[in-house]
Structure 1
Amino acid sequence: MRPKSLVLLALALGCGLIASIGISQVLDGSNKPAMVETAPIYVALQNVNVGDPITDAMVSLEEWPKDKVPPGAITTWDELEDRRPRTNIFKGEPILDTKLLAKGEINDPIQGIPDGMRLKTISVDARKSAAGLLSPGDRVDVQIYVRRNEQEGVLSPFTKIFLQNIRVYAVDQTVDKSIDGAEARNVAKTVSLVVTPQQANRITLAENLGEISLIPRNPDDETVVDDHEQDIDALLNSSTANNREKEQLASTSGRDNAAPSAIESLKAFMEAAVQRSQIAADDGSGAGAPPPFEMEIVYPTEVEVLQFIGGRPVKPNKDGTVALTPFVAPAPANSAAPAAPGEASPLPADFPIDLQVK
């Protein structure tokens, strides 16, 4: 091989080697992670309930990127020792100073009341608190039942939902749900609600006026329903029903139209009966006329059926037709012996209704 060719070959190999080394260094530099400044903070190793004392087994000191460290994160054990959570702390969550009570403090539920709101506590039992199913954080409607009290101007008992979508702050002295859901279900004696000052006044008035009940609702349901007070007339004059679709889809579309009242139905029935009786009375024969109006009189030992046409009593004939019963006026008072004291005046023999007790 010529010396010139050898020189060119060596030069090419040298250039290729230099290029490969440079490329390797560039690739190695891109794979190396950039140096990030970190800071140590305490992180929860398990769920910690409100008020539970924090021990070293519940937390761990971990290195977090300094730009990711939340404000108020606990960085030393001295800041964490002898402190309890003010709210629930979840596994993997940084321990923040704002979520802890002061050193030696056991609980501070009042600090959790939102600004501008008030805490109103009411007495309840199993019937008024959904049989012990209520927990802190649930949503309820507040219902009042008022008994009849003529002295206070309440002439008829009624019920009404006067507050809706109210948050339960505490059940007895429990102000937060357990993270693992292992809390026991007990029938509460008191329930504390988060309300405005005006709502607190309404609850106090309702407590002194009648009985208060709490009706649980879906926490995601923000619907406010126009609720008119329900009294005995409204209860007996209408009937509503749910179906599976409504219960599953929580449909809030229109309500059923109210049925006619019982008094209106009875009035319409009586008017129709009188019209039929008048038609039969005008005809005289009764042929082809509507059936007479019937009335049942219930005695202690038997039931008697009376028939009326045009408001006058009738008696059935042997062939099944009916005939008007003539009414015989009673004899003048001077022609009959007066009734003895304490005895009822005698009735005509053919009086259509036997008023004697049987």
Structure 2
Amino acid sequence: MKRPQLIGLAIAATAGVLAFVMVRGMVSRPPVEKTVEIKVKSSDVLVARTDIGLGQITNDSLFRWQSWPEETVTPGFITRTAQPDAMTQLSGSIARAPLMAGEPITPNKLVKAGQGGVLAAILPAGMRAISTRIKEETAVGNLILPNDRVDVILIRRMRGRSGTEEFVSDLLFGNVRVLAIGQQIENKEGKKTADGVANTATLELTARQAELMALSNSMGDISLSLRSIADLDVNAGPTAGVDPSSSRESSAIRVMRYGTASRAYGVN
């Protein structure tokens, strides 16, 4: 092979090796990550610094300002721009509902002290709180807790058409929220039963239903039937059953027990 050919071959080989090395380096080189900073408009929103319990009296150490995307700020949120002194203004308020750490504070979740007691603070507008006596056998063995939903049943004696006394059961109200058991208005952490010495249950009813509840307390024995969590409708209020002040009879079932007639009104 002639010398010029050898020189050309050597140059070609060298160029091929260099090209191979360059291509290999480009293929094996890790991709360059680029960080793009996008600025999102935000507002400082007042949130709970720690968990706040139902009925707890607040102070400014329980609140903090947190940056919140402006597009998600609803009209109910308290912003630093609109209320820079909100922490001081809300200090001493009472929590109408439990608040979790980081949850935005809204005016309807707190009520200022002096505008009523704790129970009045957690009552929705238009509703009334009324208590009824309970005992272990009429309150599901003391397993009913605040914020449970129950049906209220009245058991009373009535004189039948034959002149004999009969036991009658009426469903007074359904889906009733329990506000308190005794003086306990909130479930205690880790406790699965109500206070064993509690002998009253405070219920959330409408004004008319509270009137009927007071009447029923004097007419007979009240029993509370616990509703399943699968049947709960927290957005629905208590439903009406039988009016105990009415003498109208509905379809009834008569049962003979130990020679004494008893009757349960139909409520459908």
Residue 186 of structure 1 deviates from its aligned partner by 0.3
Q: Tell me the number of residue pairs that the alignment of Structure 1 and Structure 2 aligns.
A: 205
Correspondence for 1:61? 65
Instruction: Report 1:1-358 matches (<5 A).
Output: 32-55=36-59, 58-70=62-74, 71-73=76-78, 75=80, 76=85, 77-102=87-112, 107-147=117-157, 155-178=165-188, 180-182=189-191, 185-187=194-196, 188-221=198-231, 231-233=254-256
Deviation sequence 1:36-68 (CA, Å, 0-9, x none) = 332223322432102324356544332222333
Aligned partners of 2:153 and 2:224 also within 8 Å = yes
The alignment yields a C-alpha RMSD, in angstroms, of 3.8
Cα drift, residue 159 of structure 1: 3.1
TM-score by length of 2: 0.60
Q: Tell me the residue number matched to 1:249.
A: none
Q: C-alpha displacement at 1:192, in angstroms?
A: 2.0
Tell me, yes or no, if the aligned pair for 2:55 and 2:122 is still in contact at 8 Å. no
Measured in 2, the distance between the counterparts of 1:203 and 1:133 equals 22
Equivalent position SS for 2:218: helix
Deviation at 1:148, TM superposition (A): 6.3
Q: What residue is the counterpart of 1:338 in the other structure?
A: none
C-alpha offsets along residues 309-336 of structure 1, whole Å, 9 cap, x if unaligned?
xxxxxxxxxxxxxxxxxxxxxxxxxxxx
Change (3 A) 1:212 1:116: same
Scaled by the length of structure 1, what TM-score is found?
0.47
Shift of 1:234: 7.6
Q: 1:213 to 1:229 in 2, by over 3 A?
A: farther
TM-aligned CA distance change 1:184 to 1:144, over 3 Å: closer
Cα 1:200–1:107 shift into 2, 3 Å: closer
**Counterparts of 2:113 and 2:126, CA distance in 1:** 28
Residue 168 of structure 1 and its aligned partner are, at CA, apart by 1.6
* Aligned-partner residue type, residue 35 of structure 1: K
Of 181-190 and 210-219, the range deviating more from structure 2: 181-190
Change (3 A) 1:206 1:230: farther
**Structure 2 CA distance for aligned equivalents of residues 98 and 44 of structure 1:** 14
Mapped to 1, the partners of 2:211 and 2:117 lie a distance apart of 27
Tell me the residue number matched to 1:332: none
Amino acid at match of 1:185: A
Tell me if the contact between 1:83 and 1:104 (Cα under 8 Å) persists in the aligned partners. no
The DSSP-based 3-state class of the residue aligned with 1:84 is strand
Give the Cα–Cα distance (whole angstroms) in 2 for the partners of residues 53 and 110 of structure 1.
14
Specify the SS of the correspondent of 1:131: helix
Counterparts of 2:108 and 2:173 in 1: how far apart (Å)?
33
Secondary structure, counterpart of 2:88 in structure 1: helix
Cα 1:147/1:131, change in 2 over 3 Å: same
Preserved CA contact (<8 Å) 1:74 1:80: no
State the Cα deviation string for residues 281-320 of structure 1 (Å, max 9, x = none): xxxxxxxxxxxxxxxxxxxxxxxxxxxxxxxxxxxxxxxx
Q: Is the 8 A contact 1:83 1:105 kept in 2?
A: no
**Structure possessing the higher radius of gyration over alpha carbons:** 1
Q: Could you say which structure has the higher strand fraction?
A: 2
Instruction: State the distance in 1 between where 2:59 and 2:192 align.
Output: 21
User: Partners in 1 of 2:110 and 2:182 — Cα distance?
Assistant: 22
- Conserved 8 A contact 1:142-1:214: yes
The residue that corresponds to 1:328 in the other structure is none
Structure 2: gaps spanning 5 or more residues: 1-32, 234-238, 243-249, 260-268
Q: CA–CA distance in 2 between the matches of 1:162 and 1:183?
A: 27
AA paired with 1:52? Q
Query: In structure 2, the residue corresponding to 1:233 is in which secondary structure?
Result: strand
How much does 1:102 deviate?
1.4
- Inter-partner Cα distance in structure 2 for 1:141 and 1:186: 20
AA aligned opposite 1:131: G
Q: Pick closer, same or farther for the CA change 1:185–1:174 going to 2, 3 Å.
A: closer
Q: 1:91 to 1:123 in 2, by over 3 A?
A: same
- CA drift of 1:74 comes to 5.8
User: Match for 1:190: what amino acid?
Assistant: T
SS in 1 for 2:138: coil
SS at match of 1:110: helix
Q: Note the alpha carbon deviations across 1:95-140, whole angstroms, 9 max, x for none.
A: 2233222157784422443444433321222222222211222111
